[in-house]
Amino acid sequence: MDRLDFLPVSQEDMRSRGWWWYDILLVTGDAYVDHPSFGTAVIGRVLEREGYRVAVLAQPDWHSAEAFAAMGRPRLCVMIGSGNLDSMVAHYTAAKRRRSEDFYSPGKKAGRRPDRAVIVYANRAREAFPGLPVIIGGLEASLRRFAHYDYWDDAVRSSVLVDSGADLLVYGMGETASLEIAARLKKKRPVSELTDIRGTAWLTREPEKCPFPRVELPSLEDVRADKRAYAEAARVEFAEHDPVRGRALFQRHGDRTLVVNPPAMPLDGAALDAVYELPYARWYHPDYEKDGGVPAIDEVRFSISYNRGCFGGCNFCSLAFHQGRMVTSRTADSVVREAEALTKLPDFKGYISDVGGPTANFSHPSCKKQLKSGLCPNRNCLTPEPCPNLDASHTEYLTLLRRLRALPSVKKVFVRSGVRYDYMLEDKNGEFFSELVRHHVSGQLRVAPEHCIDGVLERMGKPGIGVYEKFMDRYARLSERAGREQYAVPYLMSSHPGSTLDDAIALAEYLRRRGGYSEQVQDFYPTPGTISTCMYYTGLDPRDMSGVYVARTQEEKEMQRALLQWRRPDRRELVLRALKKAGREDLIGYDERCLVRPGPARGTKNAAERKRPASDPQAPSPSVKRSGKPEYRAGWARPRPKKNASKHGKGRKKR
């Protein structure tokens, strides 16, 4: 692919375009992938459309300002983001272990961005370009815009705007704010005067200049000293994060005040169409070919972004605090045009891998009153019970999928970004569910029950387990009716606030009773900007200030995870310790209700251990590989297989 298909990444690229100056430098912690799933590409193309000259500095050497200065001084500003992930999440696991790979870097090579990338890049930009406005944005800046608990420091940190020394922070989906900032800077307006732009945050000693109605939060010093004050601040931050009724929020940081203006209105269908139909190269920059490319493109190469926002209300998810809860979507005509363009790519094989967004089957606001009154500040749309005003129609999305699968060069259209099953059940029409099962599942449907204990699910912002069971029963019937052997890949979460060791044991027993198993287990990760992270830090649920149990030691976290993967030999000792600690030795033995056998682990030289009873329920089932790791197809809540059907093809003994 030609370099001219991309935004310039060096002075040489600019010269080849006849540029002797440029307007804006975009700095990112990801490799440069010119695809609408990457925020840097979107902001760059949106600015380019308005006539600005934009250059990209991807994963620069941050040890000095040399790489920044080498690009030459832009006329207007530097805009900085860490990439599609928070840089600390990109670098560390939930156990705070350093990751060995980075899928957003060439060749998956880790370590090509710094920890706390927004702060580091902003300081280097200041060194390279004294006096030039520095604007920070993207996910990392967005979720750290207030004083926030930082899991890696185990402390409350200042707003990233304070720590970075930047002039302005853009939060949320930043197209509108970025364009407004660029337009005013082009008119020679000082950056210090850009105080009335929605979707931005700024620091001042004169907060009265804020033109919006405002609410004052507990100060940085207060939320550091008092966890109840932190929880109260979090409650207000989420309640006011609404583009219609939301107010500006003040939070004192020492002798200055952080002012977070109300959110920008989400882009409507026509505006989203315009963003996603810009001339993206839809590939990584050719400079990365020598390193093996950028693996992150593989997941989205033939996918289509359809919607933004999520009213699902999962407390552990940061989307509500970034994209917001108000859902907007592209027009069907625009999505079809993109699909037709995909079919013309030389490596297209006939399969569109996904059509969705944060939640695939959200295609419109959850109720009609939102555009006028905003979202309800003190309740979720789906939990603990679906709101009576909920609009659960899937007609728009279903019509779109039908049009896509009717395209001549398209063999299959998959829905892989996940569906909200409780929302599907509220659609009494049933056509979408039926056609999803018949046409849009690749053999495995991703769903996220997360847990089985209703008290834990309530803390998560998820529906009760009965809703999931109702969904799976219907999924099984529809799959059987369609003559398809299809499975669900259920996602589970261990150690979420509210989950005790007894709860984890109860979940393990639940999985055991249903005769299945899942590898898709995620330890709760206290990332910035979520209600669940507030619970983890404070031990309080900010929604009602009730106390919440929190698994804090690494030992207990590992035990809870091990219980959900009790069949894995490498988890066995942890499972034994957990059961003994909880006084549940009744689950150690050969009975069918037991989770593990007594004695040494399987594979030792103990002869007695090798002589297991023939009926030993802990013996690997035919759905488990000899490594002990289950195949995803053997999900713990799989639909009923067809009668006498062999799951693994010719030559496999039938169950």
Are 573 and 515 a contacting pair, CB within 8 Å? no
Query: Residue 601: its pLDDT value, please?
Result: 52
Backbone angles phi, psi at 34, to 5 degrees: -90, 80
Q: What CATH code is carried by the domain that includes residue 304?
A: 3.80.30.20
Judgement on whether residues 187 and 336 belong to the same structural domain of the protein: no
Judgement on whether residues 31 and 140 belong to the same structural domain of the protein: yes
Judgement on whether residues 171 and 296 belong to the same structural domain of the protein: no
pLDDT tens for residues 184-204? 999 999 999 999 999 999 999
- Token representation of residue 256: 């200055």
Tally of CB atoms within 10 A around 546 = 11
Judgement on whether residues 480 and 335 belong to the same structural domain of the protein: yes
In a domain, 486, yes or no: yes
Whether residue 171 has pLDDT greater than 60: yes
Judgement on whether residues 197 and 278 belong to the same structural domain of the protein: no
Whether residue 645 has pLDDT greater than 60: no
In a domain, 217, yes or no: no
Judgement on whether residues 137 and 282 belong to the same structural domain of the protein: no
Whether residue 622 has pLDDT greater than 60: no
Judgement on whether residues 486 and 569 belong to the same structural domain of the protein: yes
Whether residue 132 has pLDDT greater than 60: yes
Instruction: From 595, 610, 625, give the residue that closes a domain.
Output: 610
Of 340-344, 482-486, 500-504, 600-604, the one with minimum mean pLDDT is 600-604
pLDDT tens for residues 276-289? 999 999 999 999 99
Judgement on whether residues 161 and 279 belong to the same structural domain of the protein: no
In a domain, 113, yes or no: yes
Judgement on whether residues 190 and 82 belong to the same structural domain of the protein: yes
Q: Which long-range contacts (CB under 8 A, 24 or more apart) does 122-126 make?
A: 122/80, 122/164, 122/165, 122/166, 123/164, 123/165, 124/60, 124/62, 124/64, 124/65, 124/67, 124/68, 125/25, 125/27, 125/65, 125/68, 125/78, 125/80, 126/165
In a domain, 640, yes or no: no
Judgement on whether residues 159 and 288 belong to the same structural domain of the protein: no
Q: What CATH code is carried by the domain that includes residue 191?
A: 3.40.50.280
Whether residue 608 has pLDDT greater than 60: no
Torsion over CA: 370, 376, 381, 385 (sign)? negative
Strand partners, 200: 170
Could you tell me the pTM of the whole model?
Answer: 0.90
Give the CA angle between residues 115, 125, 158 to the nearest 5°: 50
Whether residue 145 has pLDDT greater than 60: yes
Q: Work out the angle between the directed axes of helices 269-276 and 332-343 (0-180°, nearest 10).
A: 20
Mean pLDDT value across the chain? 90
pLDDT tens for residues 312-360? 999 999 988 999 999 999 999 999 999 999 999 999 999 999 999 999 9
CA distance 629 to 632: 9
The closest alpha carbon to 235, from 550, 549, 460, 545, belongs to 545
The β-bridge relationship of strands 200-204 and 256-260 is antiparallel
In a domain, 213, yes or no: no
The closest alpha carbon to 383, from 463, 483, 444, 284, belongs to 463
Q: What is the span of the domain harbouring residue 77?
A: 3-201
For 115, 179, 505, the CA distances from 161, given in Å and listed in that order, are 16, 20, 43
In a domain, 600, yes or no: yes
Query: Residue 520: its pLDDT value, please?
Result: 77
Instruction: From 201, 226, 251, give the residue that closes a domain.
Output: 201
Query: Residue 625: its pLDDT value, please?
Result: 33
Judgement on whether residues 195 and 281 belong to the same structural domain of the protein: no
In a domain, 635, yes or no: no
Count of the separate structural domains present in the chain:
2
In terms of pLDDT, which residue wins out, 481 or 611? 481
Judgement on whether residues 191 and 287 belong to the same structural domain of the protein: no
3-state secondary structure of 616: coil
